[in-house]
Structure 1
Amino acid sequence: MEAGEQLGRLRREAAEYYRGLRVPERLEQALNELFLQRPEDLYGELANYFSKFSKAPVICKLVGRKLFNGVGQPTLEVEIYCTVKNYEKRICSTVMATHSQIPENALPETIEADEKERNECVHTAVEWVNESLNTMLRHLDPTDQCQADKMLGEYFANKVEEKKEIERQEKERQEEEAAKATPSVRSGSTPKQKKGGKPAKSSVEVTPSPPAEPAESALRGSLAIGGTSLAVAKAGATISHVPLYLYTALLKHHQESPKEMTLPLPMVTLLNCEKNSPTKLKLVKEVMVIPPVELSLKQGIKRVLDIQKEIIRLLESSGKKPGSRGESRRGRALKGPPPTLKISHLGCLTIGYDSLEQLLLQMQIACHNIGLQLGKDMYLAINCAAHELMDHEKGKYEILTGAFKSPDEMVAMYVEMINNFPFIIALIDPLRKEDREQWSSICFALGSKCYVIAEDAATQISKLKTEQNINIARCSGIVLKYINETKVSDLLELTGILDGQRHITILGSPDGESSDESLVDLAVGLGARFLKLGGLCRGERVAKYNRLLAIEEELAANGALREAKLEFVAFAEESEPEELPTPEQH
């Protein structure tokens, strides 16, 4: 059949069809004009036109499966399928990151028990997704994040109550068994006591430190809640034909599209200091670098890589690791193979030091060698992870091997540190969260010079959101991690609370990071001040820096990129935010 005959037939059939539907005359005229085009153009135009009248996509299936994260630990993937124009279509997937609370020096049996628990948690999460959540969210509009998170929250709350009821019944059963097994004690008899009477009191009175708050255990299966919520957000962004960072911003600002957006500043981990290494320094867990705000992200990342290369060169040329006896008395490097440089799971060098001054001196030398100056061309952030330093018997923090400081002495030490090294503009977890009074002291003393940030010292996201406060006396901001039962709506609400309290938001990668790049989009859309992703090694971490670079390029091309600002908030009520000096002001 010739093209002309085919067009004529289609024209007659379409005209009869639309007359039956009483199509307006102008629409019929437009269709008549379409029929004069080539068949391939005609079919495309008709498909585009009728697609506007198709039903909105709805979720038709969730698929959960077990995968492995960047350090080989089991984690959860959630896939979302939607019905689009009467066809089932895979829309997106998410892979959850995981967080470990097992210390570096844990016993083998503790590590084995943790691995077993992780596997059971992921197995339960897969079951939740494929069974209960799959049924519960079917036919839901993927752009209705609020409703999806509400249903997920209610489901999780029911699971928590079920667990409490099971634990209550188990406790009652154990008490009954114990009562039956306990023999009756004869009247008048008393337990034997050792000679010597009361135990002798210690001659030295030690002020006990506040006991550590119990670890916030995650409910088995909780990964399913966070993974599904994030998958729904990604599906909503895909269906709406916008990137996830813009979709997140629209959710936060109630569908008002921001004219400009600010990228979070990267806290790039350069060194991971081993607290259990033969070297003495225990106070520092991570050394992070923060590029100046006047640099583009691309320029800042290049500068960080230059510093990293120079540090590696210095270590290899010296023939030793910091803190080791690799030099002769004359200062010359001893002969021997160069040290093996270990890459941490955080994507950076793992190194030990004997003192804070030694560490900072090496940073200054590395920067100086490539023409940079700390405090002008690059800034430092220190993660102290002080909860790992407490000796509970002494009630003090062990900052160096055999050197201890009380919480009040820690405050004085940090004040001296920032005064001596003003290029340190952020301290993360300088104290345990139990030392609330000292948190206040640090913030009042240093709040106008440096960010005092809570990471492990903050409580879990769900509790923060419920209590509407920060659960510690004072801090400049909080590191939020998207793990376990965290939902996208929780982040939206909590960052709004932090903004209102003049706290900064930092989104951080957990130690068990996955290849999923969604964290970067969330940070941009939520307006986070910093993004703590680890180092510039390991694919699961570098992928996130690459995603941040892509977002910067897209915003710049659209004229929507606003320059970030670094300003400190002093904690005196009458004080105003203090902006970090630019290089011209030094």
Structure 2
Amino acid sequence: MEPGGDRQQLQRLGREAAEYYRSHEIPQRLEEALNTLFLLRPTDLYGDLANYFSKFAKAPVICKLVGRKVLDGVGRPTLEVEIYCIIKNYEKRICSTVISSHSQILENALPEATEADEKERNDSVNTAVEWVNESLNAMLRDLKPTDQCNIDKILSEYFIRKVEEKKEIQKEGEEESTLSLPSCVPSATGLPEGKKATTIGKKVPGAETTIPPAEPIESVLCGSLAIGGTSLAIAKAGATISDIPLYLYIALLKRNQDSPKEMTMPLPMVTLLNCGKFSPGKLKLMKEVMLIPPVQLSLKQSIERALDIQREMMKLLEPTCKGQPSPQLADRKKGSARSTGKKVLPAAMKRISHLGCLITGCDNLEQPLLLLQTACNNIGLELGTDMYLAINCAAHELIDYHKGKYEILTGTFRSPDEIVDMYVELINKFPSIIALVDPLRKEDRKQWNNICCALGSKCFLIAEDAATSISKLIPDQDINLPQCSGIVLKYINQTKVSDLIELTGLLDGQRHITILGSPDGESSDDSLVDLAVGLGAKFIKLGGLSRGERVTKYNRLLAIEEELAKNRTLRFEASLEFINFAEETQPEQLFDLLPLPKQD
């Protein structure tokens, strides 16, 4: 039969079928589908027919959650969550996510503390796996993975129930222990004179200075990883089902499905040196020395520049050959950099920290800064123009509650007021420092106000330790933080995607900048980068340019930037904006670091 005859026969059969189904009251959509056959070539028939009917297929729903114990980047156990959905009547694995461990790396810890930490972590991960495979698996079955808000609400209610259950168990345990106490136990008033119970963070006998006591450490509910891991896995599944990148999916959730016309990339805070409390040398104050690129550089240019500085820094720290001293740092004050011998140099260490950077020891505040300054000068770069600095002070790790002071160097202490003056002097001497992370404890609110007024117009003053519990920051639409420029958010424990969206919305409206940061126990999952881009974070703090779990995230940053540039939706910031806290009644002052780069 001729090709034209095939077409005529198909048309005739289509009309007969349509007439038959019309007489038998088949739904109108099926009739419309059959009528489209008249326009099809025989070779297109099956594919186009399948595509047409796929529009009316049932939306994908969750059919199974799988939780399992895996290892993070430093070999500690953590949680992986897999999502399976029913798509066109078939069960299909959609995605998985690995959530980072909440606990910090214990440096130089006693064996007992390390053993207790490992047991606590194992118990938490095992409980989280049980929650995912049993309770959450049953609760979320048949729900749409694109319904993030509703699923996060269910997760939140489940977590609250678990918290209440734990409180009831603790209450019963306390009542039983009280009833079992013998009547001859002396009361608190029976303690010998002068022997009073002490509480961590409160003034103790012999304390030199009265300081605000430390806020109680928030306990982490065993198994809470299941909440954060499941919420993030659901977001990834929703993005996969919607056939869009996770960063765009997060942006749509934050903007109520209003697609952004342009998106900016967060500036990376690249850690180059770890020279804090647990490293060799007298210096305790600077836990991390980080690089921040200027706004006009692309991420690719920024990372290449940071790598150049890192390579030059290694040359300065490592001897060129056996028995020969290392190249010396420039000492601009004395003008005798090369005659001061090894005394000027920090002690070089041939190991990389869990943060992905070089561990080195320094004996004063200026040594690491001079090291970076020399490295930049040697390769033709200038600090304060071609690259900027940020310091993670981690002041909460340095406080001596007996003295009421911070131990900035071994045996050298500063009161909260004195340390503010020290920061002012340091920034005036090194104006290339544009961010201080945790310069004070969160309890020293008076000093936070003082340092914001003194330095707020010159650099960012960031709270990281104060923002470890995201759920406590948002209950009353008010952020329980000391006065600061912004905060570092970490996706850990019971944090949910909806929490991040809500909190970053509040931060945007209150002049705070948002920084997404990696925890100590980082995994190879790169979802944190998509969260940072989708939420519009100003900075992202990933650690150094070593260790696979951290380099993976830098590679994801590069891939997203390339994709946005290709789609012509990439926008560069015109400048970095600081807040002049000393002039609250006046509009915010802008401090233009670098102009907007020219576009091709």
- Common fold: TM-score over 0.5: yes
Q: How does 1:77-92 map to 2 (within 5 A)?
A: 77-92=80-95
**SS of 1:59's equivalent?**
strand
Query: 2:273 aligned with 1:271, yes or no?
Result: yes
- Give the CA deviation at 1:208: 2.9
**SS of 1:452's equivalent?**
strand
Amino acid paired to 2:228? G
**Match of 1:117?**
120
**Match of 1:410?**
419
CA distance in 2, matches of 1:3, 1:226: 60
Query: 2:38 aligned with 1:37, yes or no?
Result: no
- Give the CA deviation at 1:434: 1.1
- Tell me if the contact between 2:296 and 2:594 (Cα under 8 Å) persists in the aligned partners: no
CA distance in 1, matches of 2:300, 2:283: 33
**SS of 1:255's equivalent?**
coil
**Match of 1:532?**
541
**Match of 2:386?**
377
- Residues 407-452 of structure 1, C-alpha deviation per residue, up to 9 Å, x if partnerless? 0001111111111111000000001111111011111111111000
Which residue of 218, 221, 234 maps to 1:219? 221
**Match of 1:19?**
19
**SS of 1:207's equivalent?**
coil
Which residue of 467, 487, 492 maps to 1:458? 467
Q: Percent identity?
A: 67
- Tell me if the contact between 1:291 and 1:379 (Cα under 8 Å) persists in the aligned partners: yes
Q: How does 1:58-73 map to 2 (within 5 A)?
A: 58-73=61-76
Gaps of 5+ in 1: none
Amino acid paired to 1:566? L
- Give the CA deviation at 1:10: 7.6
Query: 2:576 aligned with 1:566, yes or no?
Result: yes
Q: TM-score, normalised by structure 1?
A: 0.90
CA distance in 2, matches of 1:394, 1:176: 39
Amino acid paired to 1:172? E
**Match of 2:201?**
none
Residues 4/214 of structure 1: CA separation in 2 closer, same or farther (3 Å cut): farther
Between stretches 455-464 and 493-502, larger displacement belongs to 455-464
- Give the CA deviation at 1:581: 3.2
- Tell me if the contact between 1:323 and 1:352 (Cα under 8 Å) persists in the aligned partners: no
- Give the CA deviation at 1:296: 0.7
Residues 434/85 of structure 1: CA separation in 2 closer, same or farther (3 Å cut): same
- Tell me if the contact between 2:396 and 2:440 (Cα under 8 Å) persists in the aligned partners: yes
**SS of 2:260's equivalent?**
coil
Between stretches 117-126 and 104-113, larger displacement belongs to 104-113
- Tell me if the contact between 1:80 and 1:231 (Cα under 8 Å) persists in the aligned partners: yes
Q: How does 1:228-377 map to 2 (within 5 A)?
A: 228-317=230-319, 340-377=349-386
CA distance in 2, matches of 1:535, 1:256: 35
- Give the CA deviation at 1:340: 5.0
Q: How does 1:150-165 map to 2 (within 5 A)?
A: 150-165=153-168
Residues 315/44 of structure 1: CA separation in 2 closer, same or farther (3 Å cut): same
Query: 2:435 aligned with 1:430, yes or no?
Result: no
- Residues 464-503 of structure 1, C-alpha deviation per residue, up to 9 Å, x if partnerless? 0114333233010000000000000000000011111110
Between stretches 157-166 and 557-566, larger displacement belongs to 557-566
- Give the CA deviation at 1:49: 1.1
Query: 2:174 aligned with 1:168, yes or no?
Result: no
- Give the CA deviation at 1:458: 2.9
Residues 4/489 of structure 1: CA separation in 2 closer, same or farther (3 Å cut): same
**SS of 1:449's equivalent?**
coil
Q: How does 1:194-209 map to 2 (within 5 A)?
A: 206-209=208-211
CA distance in 1, matches of 2:70, 2:16: 55
- Tell me if the contact between 1:56 and 1:84 (Cα under 8 Å) persists in the aligned partners: yes
CA distance in 2, matches of 1:92, 1:60: 13
- Give the CA deviation at 1:250: 0.5
- Residues 283-310 of structure 1, C-alpha deviation per residue, up to 9 Å, x if partnerless? 1000110000001111111000000000
- Tell me if the contact between 2:316 and 2:326 (Cα under 8 Å) persists in the aligned partners: no
Amino acid paired to 1:463? K
**SS of 2:208's equivalent?**
coil
Residues 507/322 of structure 1: CA separation in 2 closer, same or farther (3 Å cut): farther
CA distance in 1, matches of 2:218, 2:538: 26
- Give the CA deviation at 1:560: 0.6
Q: How does 1:429-578 map to 2 (within 5 A)?
A: 429-564=438-573, 565-571=575-581, 572-578=583-589
Amino acid paired to 1:30? T
- Give the CA deviation at 1:359: 1.1
- Tell me if the contact between 2:326 and 2:342 (Cα under 8 Å) persists in the aligned partners: no
CA distance in 1, matches of 2:342, 2:483: 47
Residues 16/509 of structure 1: CA separation in 2 closer, same or farther (3 Å cut): farther
**Match of 1:183?**
184
Residues 191/381 of structure 1: CA separation in 2 closer, same or farther (3 Å cut): closer
- Give the CA deviation at 1:33: 3.1
CA distance in 1, matches of 2:571, 2:310: 28
CA distance in 1, matches of 2:419, 2:377: 30
CA distance in 2, matches of 1:197, 1:406: 27
- Tell me if the contact between 1:322 and 1:353 (Cα under 8 Å) persists in the aligned partners: no
Q: TM-score, normalised by structure 2?
A: 0.88
Amino acid paired to 1:545? Y
- Tell me if the contact between 1:508 and 1:532 (Cα under 8 Å) persists in the aligned partners: yes
- Tell me if the contact between 1:320 and 1:339 (Cα under 8 Å) persists in the aligned partners: no
- Give the CA deviation at 1:12: 7.1
- Tell me if the contact between 2:272 and 2:290 (Cα under 8 Å) persists in the aligned partners: yes
Residues 120/3 of structure 1: CA separation in 2 closer, same or farther (3 Å cut): farther
Between stretches 65-74 and 21-30, larger displacement belongs to 21-30
- Give the CA deviation at 1:274: 4.0
**SS of 1:474's equivalent?**
coil
**SS of 1:561's equivalent?**
coil
- Residues 257-290 of structure 1, C-alpha deviation per residue, up to 9 Å, x if partnerless? 0100111110011111142334111110001100
- Give the CA deviation at 1:99: 2.6
- Tell me if the contact between 2:319 and 2:327 (Cα under 8 Å) persists in the aligned partners: no
CA distance in 2, matches of 1:464, 1:471: 6
- Tell me if the contact between 1:569 and 1:576 (Cα under 8 Å) persists in the aligned partners: no
Residues 409/27 of structure 1: CA separation in 2 closer, same or farther (3 Å cut): same
CA distance in 1, matches of 2:229, 2:563: 27
CA distance in 2, matches of 1:560, 1:113: 49
- Residues 200-231 of structure 1, C-alpha deviation per residue, up to 9 Å, x if partnerless? xx997722322222221210110000011011
**SS of 2:231's equivalent?**
helix
Residues 452/340 of structure 1: CA separation in 2 closer, same or farther (3 Å cut): closer
**Match of 2:332?**
none
For this pair of structures, how many residues does the alignment match? 567
CA distance in 2, matches of 1:574, 1:193: 55
- Give the CA deviation at 1:20: 3.6
Task: Provide the alpha-carbon RMSD of the alignment.
Answer: 3.1
CA distance in 1, matches of 2:68, 2:9: 51
- Give the CA deviation at 1:182: 2.9
